[in-house]
Amino acid sequence: MLNVKPLAFDSFGVRSVRSMATFVETDDIAVLIDPGVSLAPRRYGLPPHPIEEQRMNEHWEDIKEHAARSDVLIVTHYHYDHYDPEEPEV
């Protein structure tokens, strides 16, 4: 079995969410790649809309849920949309 599940990506419901969080599961291992999500502080001169903040929080909850199920977490690089330094338990 191979299951690849995108958890949060730039195009998942809001223009300002940044992420590439991906959960990969096989019969032997569960891996979470880039367990992070963030919002651009301003986009097109506008701050994030409350709906965008809500969607980001929903994605973050999904990421934390999958992190708890993972055997391995991979951070490809240290931008805040790929990991959250304020959430060391993830």
- How does pLDDT run across 33-66, given as a tens digit for each residue? 999 988 888 878 989 889 889 988 999 999 999 9
What letter represents residue 84's amino acid?
D
Decide: 56 and 34 in contact? Cβ < 8 Å: no
Q: 3-class SS at 37?
A: coil
32 vs 12, more confident: 32
Lookup: tokens for 46? 């506008």
The pLDDT value recorded for residue 16 is 56
Query: Which of 65, 53, 57, 59 lies closest to 89, judged by CA?
Result: 65
How far apart are alpha carbons 10 and 56 in whole angstroms? 10
pLDDT category at 26 given cuts 50, 70, 90 is very high
